[in-house]
Amino acid sequence: MEKRLLVIGLDCATPQLVFDEWKDQLPNLNGLMERGFYGKLRSTIPPITVPAWTSMMTSQDPGMLGFYGFRNRKGYGYEDLYFANANYVKAKTVWNYLSRRRMSSLVFGVPQTYPPKPLNGIMVGCFLTPNKDVQYTYPDEIKGELDATADGDYIIDVENFRTDLKDELLQQIYLMTERRFKAFRHFLKKDFYHFAMVVEMGIDRIHHGFWRFFDKGHRLYEPGNKYEEVIFKYYQAVDREVGRVLELVSDDTSVMVVSDHGIKRMEGAICINEWLQQEGYLTLKEKPTTQTRLRMDMIDWERTRVWGEGGYYCRIFFNVKGREPQGVIPPQQYDSFRQEIKAKLEALEDEEGKCINTRVFLPEETYRECKNIPPDLVVYLGNLDWRSAGSVGVGSVYLYENDTGPDDANHAQDGILIWNVPGKQIKSKQEVYSIYDIAPSILRYFEIEIPPEMIGSSII
């Protein structure tokens, strides 16, 4: 009997809801937990979709992969950051190892698989696909079949989850999810695959779009609002979709459910470039009178030592003499200066003067190696209770309306792992597993030798 593994990825599915609050009301996920084992899945630093899914599928950390988030520096100049799609992934994924052994894979919507690369099987690209006019499937000719099996229009991602149009957003999330699972089931039924994996983005989108309506501790929560049950009902809908997929696989198929990170309420945003100006580290040629995105041509580089980027976490970049074109920090002062910035960030306070417990990471201490251009510092503002707003002209270090559109939740470090391996009892259940352990565990399941470049260990 040939081994089969089904992996269901639920981007941003969070342990406090799946394992605790709603466990008994998610019968299909709960059934997998009872038949197998489960625990929190400690994500990458930073815990963000890119690079977390690729780290999961390669067992390499962001520094080894050479990208540190969605957007990265191309060089030490002052140009805009680039988006890291599949073209920048040089490490081998689990399906690469399977393909080399003539084992077949069905890979559906896994982040950082656009543009798709050849494999022994079928690949449908991810949410980084700019539009459906490009080649986002492998082979290219399955596009028509993909649409046909998804009610005529396969939805890659919702158009904009940071919107005040909540009814339209909710409708789009449900449509996307129903059509993705419908199409995935079609291809899963059609052929035999040793490895089949689908990643659904809907949980991430619904968390960011509706968290304040559900979380009673959120500062914007209003009791009895019309969206209070939206996240719960969607989790139940996803659980039903999982159940429909499980109906298609044999009893001896191993089933894994994973997420790349969790979620938590967002207290607000720290305007990192406003703070850097306030501290005397960043100088603009002219101070904007209204809130605007920081552009590199706005910066007076001869009087600037540091600038920062917005996002669910913060990246800090230094202007180093001999490294950046108009660098001012003497290289011999780099280490002491970085410690100075780190200490000041760790001492950051909220508007009431209370330390928010920011965590600051030095890339060379965090990763096995640092390929390409790492940030000088990776920062969890308030340990991810606060996001980073890169805008300038805000007039305050604190912002309570997100600068990129409505968004009331931030990523949390721990996602979920549920794994049922038929015929195998995992006695030593852990409370927390590592995202780097998934790829070696998949290879071990298929009795493939774990390569030395994988930094995780097999769970089974």
Q: Which two tokens stand for residue 352?
A: 């009431």
Burial label, 251 (beta-carbon count in 10 A; 0-12, 13-18, 19+): exposed
CA distance 307 to 100: 44
Percent of the chain's residues with pLDDT above 90: 92
Among candidate residues 19, 7, 10, the one with its CA nearest the CA of residue 431:
19
Cα–Cα separations (whole angstroms), residue 141 to 138, 182, 208, 281, 378: 8, 19, 34, 53, 42
CA distance 268 to 131: 32
Residue 459 lies in a domain: no
Give pLDDT, residue 32.
96
Calculate mean pLDDT across residues 427-431: 66
Instruction: Please state, as a whole number, how many other Cβ atoms lie within 10 Å of the Cβ of residue 90.
Output: 11
Residue 59 lies in a domain: yes
Helix intervals (H) in 314-426: 334-346, 363-366
Calculate mean pLDDT across residues 40-52: 98
* Crossing angle of helices 202-214 and 230-246, rounded to 10°: 150
Give pLDDT, residue 405.
65
Q: What is the pLDDT of residues 238-271, one digit of tens each?
A: 999 999 999 999 999 999 999 999 999 999 999 9
Answer whether residue 406 shows pLDDT above 80.
no
CA distance 206 to 212: 11
89 lies in the same domain as 147: yes
Q: What is the pLDDT of residues 168-192, one digit of tens each?
A: 999 999 999 999 999 999 999 999 9
Residue 454 lies in a domain: no
Residue 450 lies in a domain: no
Among candidate residues 238, 4, 252, the one with its CA nearest the CA of residue 121:
4
Q: Where are the beta strands (DSSP E) in 352-408?
A: 359-361, 377-380, 386-389, 398-399
Task: Return the exposure string of 256-283: e unless at least 16 CB atoms fall within 10 Å of the residue's CB, then b.
Answer: bbbbbbbbbbbbbbbbbbbbbbeeebbe
289 lies in the same domain as 231: no
Answer whether residue 80 shows pLDDT above 90.
no
Calculate mean pLDDT across residues 62-67: 98
Average pLDDT, the chain: 95
Among candidate residues 319, 283, 277, the one with its CA nearest the CA of residue 299:
283
Among candidate residues 112, 166, 130, the one with its CA nearest the CA of residue 405:
166
Residue 328 lies in a domain: yes
Give pLDDT, residue 341.
98
Q: Which strands make up the sheet holding 254-258, listed edge to edge?
A: 137-138, 121-124, 105-108, 195-200, 5-10, 254-258, 414-420, 37-42, 432-434
Domain extent for 118:
5-265+411-445
Q: Is the separation of the CB atoms in 359 and 340 below 8 Å? A: no
398 lies in the same domain as 433: no
Q: What is the pLDDT of residues 344-385, one digit of tens each?
A: 999 999 999 999 999 999 999 999 999 999 999 999 999 999
182 lies in the same domain as 254: yes
31 lies in the same domain as 94: yes
Q: Which amino acid is at 200?
A: E
236 lies in the same domain as 341: no
Residue 223 lies in a domain: yes
- Beta bridge mates, 258: 9, 417
DSSP string spanning 239-291? HHHHHHHHTTS-TT-EEEEE-S-EEEE--EEEEHHHHHHHTTS--BSS--SS-
CB within 8 Å of 408: residues ≥ 6 apart: 208, 211, 212, 215, 218, 220, 265, 266, 402
Q: Is the separation of the CB atoms in 381 and 217 below 8 Å? A: no
Q: Is the separation of the CB atoms in 42 and 61 below 8 Å? A: no
Q: What is the CATH number of the domain that holds 250?
A: 3.40.720.10
Give pLDDT, residue 427.
54
Give pLDDT, residue 428.
55
67 lies in the same domain as 193: yes
Q: What is the pLDDT of residues 123-137, one digit of tens each?
A: 999 999 999 999 999
Give pLDDT, residue 319.
98
Answer whether residue 424 shows pLDDT above 80.
no
- Beta bridge mates, 209: none
Answer whether residue 430 shows pLDDT above 80.
no
Task: State if pTM tops 0.85.
Answer: yes
CA distance 407 to 209: 6
171 lies in the same domain as 285: no
Q: Which two tokens stand for residue 275?
A: 């703070």
Number of domains the chain contains: 2
C-alpha of 334 from chain center:
31
Please report which confidence band the pLDDT of residue 159 belongs to, taking 50, 70 and 90 as the band edges: confident
Q: Which two tokens stand for residue 33?
A: 């937990």
Residue 452 lies in a domain: no
175 lies in the same domain as 198: yes
CB hemisphere CA count around 361 (13 angstroms):
24
- Beta bridge mates, 197: 7, 107
26 lies in the same domain as 171: yes
Residue 175 lies in a domain: yes
The conformation of residue 124, written as its DSSP 8-state character, comes to E
SS (H, E, C) 128-142: CCCCCCCCCEECHHH
CB hemisphere CA count around 125 (13 angstroms):
24
255 lies in the same domain as 329: no
C-alpha of 284 from chain center:
32
Answer whether residue 1 shows pLDDT above 80.
no
234 lies in the same domain as 342: no
